Amino acid sequence: METLLISLTTVAFAEMGDRTQLLSLMLAARFRQPWPILLGILLATAANHSAAGLLGSWFGRLLTPTILDLAVGVSMLAMALWTLVPDKLDEDKTNLRRSGAFAATLVAFFIAEIGDKTQIATVALAAAYPSLVAVVIGTTTGMLLANAPVVLFGKAFAERLPLRAIHYGASALFAVLGTYFILRNIA
C-alpha cells in the first residue's frame, strides 16, 4: 500500500503545471469530449508507465541495494529541482482535429510522456520498490487525478490552481523522498 500511495502522490503533485496537464487542457478545449480524452490519458499513461516501470525494475535488479538507493535518491533530488521549472506546451505540429478525441489523446499523451518527469519518476519508483504493479497503478492513477479536473472543468478550474505553491510542494516531496533514499544508506 505504501508503494501505491507514494507513487500516486509523487506523480499527482509532479503533474501540476506539467506539459501533459497543459496538453489535457488543449485537448479538452479542442474536442469538448471529456470521456474519450480521459480514456486516452488512462491507456497512454498505463502503457508509457508500464514500459518505464519495467525499465526501472530491470535497473533495480542490476544494482546493489546501496547503489540503487543512492541512484534513486539522487534522481529524486534532481526531480525536485526540475519540478521548480514550469513546463510550456510546444505548439502542436500535427493536426489533432483529423483524428478523434480518443486517438488524438492516446498518441499525443504517449509521446508527451516520453522523457517527462513523471515517466522518470516512474522509473525511479519501480527501481526502488519491489511491486511493479503498485508503482504503475499508483503513477497512472496520480496522472489521472491531476488531469481529470483539467479535462472535466477546463480552463476556469486550471486558472484557479496555485501552481507556484503546487510546484514547491511537489519539489519538496521529491526532495524528501530523495533524502530518504540517500539517508537509508547511511543509517
> What CATH number does the domain containing 173 carry?
1.20.1250
Q: Evaluate the CA torsion angle 57, 59, 61, 66 in order and state its sign.
A: negative
pLDDT band (50, 70, 90) for residue 93 = very low
CA distances from 174 to 54, 73, 187 (A): 21, 9, 20
Distance CA 36, CA 138 (A): 21
Does residue 142 sit within a domain? Answer: yes
**Is the pLDDT at 123 greater than 90, yes or no?**
yes
CA-nearest of 134, 122, 138, 163 to 22 is: 163
Does residue 163 sit within a domain? Answer: yes
pLDDT value at residue 91: 46
Angle at which helix 34-62 crosses helix 132-158, to 10 degrees, equals: 140
pLDDT value at residue 161: 60
Does residue 99 sit within a domain? Answer: no
How far, in whole angstroms, is CA 55 from its chain's centroid? 16
pLDDT value at residue 157: 59
Alpha helices in the chain (DSSP H): 2-15, 19-31, 34-62, 65-83, 101-113, 117-128, 132-158, 163-186
| 39 SS3 class | helix
User: What are 70-84's pLDDT values in tens digits?
Assistant: 877 787 788 778 767
**Is the pLDDT at 44 greater than 90, yes or no?**
yes
- Residues present in the chain in total: 187
Residue 16 is part of which domain span?
2-87+111-186
**Is the pLDDT at 156 greater than 70, yes or no?**
no
- Domains held by the chain: number: 1
Does residue 98 sit within a domain? Answer: no
Does residue 102 sit within a domain? Answer: no
Does residue 157 sit within a domain? Answer: yes
Does residue 35 sit within a domain? Answer: yes
Does residue 16 sit within a domain? Answer: yes
pTM (2 decimals)? 0.74
